[in-house]
Amino acid sequence: MPKHKLIIGLTGGIGSGKTAASDYFQKIGINIIDADIVARAVVQPETAAWHQIKDYFGTEVLEANGQLNRAWLRKQIFANPEQRRWLESITHPAIRTEIIDQLGKVQSDYGILVSPLLLESGQNELVDRVLLIDVPTTLQRQRTQIRDNNSAAQVDAIIAAQMPRQARISRADDIIINDQSLEHLQQACQALHQQYLQLSQLK
C-alpha cells in the first residue's frame, strides 16, 4: 500500500493572496487540489448533486445552458439559512469525497489543498499542516475592492462572513504575512517549500 503523502492545507481570507501563493507552488511542480474547482465540478449538469439541486429549487436555479445560476442561488441561500443548510448537506459530502480522491493521486513530494473554507468546512482534517496566507484587514479591503470592483460595504460584508483573522492565525501551523511584493510572497513560499520537502521525507 503506498504511503500517505504530506498534504498542506493552504487558506486565507478574501484578497489575502491564496491564488498567487498556490500558483507559485504549482509552478515549481507541486500538485494542487483546489476546493473551489472541485466545488464547481460536483454540481456540473447531470451530476447527482445537480439533479438534487434542480429538484429542490426548480428550474429557476438553472441558466439556459443547464449550468447552475450561481448568483440566483447565492441570493436564495443568504436569505434563507434553512435552504443554505440543505444545499451544504448535498454539496459538502460530494466535495469532500472528490477532494479525498484527488489527494490520493498526488504525485509530487507533497500536495497542497487550497481552500478558502479549509478551517470552517472541516477540510483541515484532511491535511497534515495548515499554511495561512495572512494580510492586514485594511490591505485586504483595498485589494478586494480593486480586484473585484466591489464597494467597501460589500467587501466588509464578505470579510465579516469569514472566520475572524485572529481565529485563523491561532489555528495555522505556518503563516506568510503577504503585505509586501509578489516577489516577497514567492520567496516566503520557496522557504516553506524547502521545509515541506524535508517533512515529506519523514512521512
Buried-exposed string 105-116: b where 16+ CB fall within 10 A, e elsewhere: ebebbbbbbbbb
- Name all domains of the chain by residue range, CATH numbers in brackets: 1-30+110-198 (3.40.50.300), 37-107 (3.40.50.300)
Q: Tell me what pLDDT residue 171 has.
A: 96
Known binding residue 54? Answer is no
Q: Averaged over 73-93, what is the pLDDT?
A: 90
- Would you say 110 and 153 are in contact if contact means Cβ atoms under 8 Å apart? no
What Å distances lie between residue 26 and 127, 147, 149, CA to CA?
17, 22, 27
Q: What is the pLDDT of residue 4?
A: 80
16 known member of a binding site: yes
Q: Is the pLDDT of residue 8 over 90?
A: yes
- Give the distance from CA 106 to its chain's centroid: 18
The pLDDT, as a whole number, for residue 2 is: 46
Residue 105 marked as a ligand binder:
no
DSSP label of 5: P
DSSP 129-156: EEEEEE--HHHHHHHHHHHH---HHHHH
pLDDT digits (tens, 9 = 90+) for 50-79: 999 999 999 999 999 999 999 899 888 878
- Residue count (the chain): 203
* Position 172 pLDDT exceeds 90: yes
Share of the chain above pLDDT 70, in %: 98
Identify whether the C-beta of residue 127 lies closer than 8 Å to the C-beta of residue 8: yes
Average pLDDT of the residues in 25-30: 98
Instruction: Label residue 84 left, alpha or beta by phi (over 0 means left) and psi (-120 to 50 means alpha).
Output: alpha
Q: Is residue 158 predicted with pLDDT exceeding 80?
A: no
Q: Is 161 annotated as a binding residue?
A: no
- Known binding residue 111? Answer is no
Q: Is the pTM of this model over 0.75?
A: yes
Looking at every residue in the chain, the average pLDDT score rounds to: 91
Highest mean pLDDT range out of 12-21, 46-55, 72-81, 154-163?
46-55
By CB neighbour count within 10 A (0-12 exposed, 13-18 middle, 19+ buried), where does 196 fall? buried
pLDDT at 1: 32
Q: What mean pLDDT comes out for the span 76-102? A: 91
3-state helix, strand, coil in the chain (%, to 5): 55, 15, 30
Instruction: Please check if 20 is assigned to a binding site.
Output: yes
Residue 66 backbone zone (phi > 0: left; psi -120 to 50: alpha; other: beta):
left
**CA neighbours closer than 13 Å in the CB half-sphere of residue 146:** 8
Candidates 7, 10, 6; CA nearest to 132 is: 10
- Band of residue 3 on the pLDDT scale cut at 50, 70, 90: low
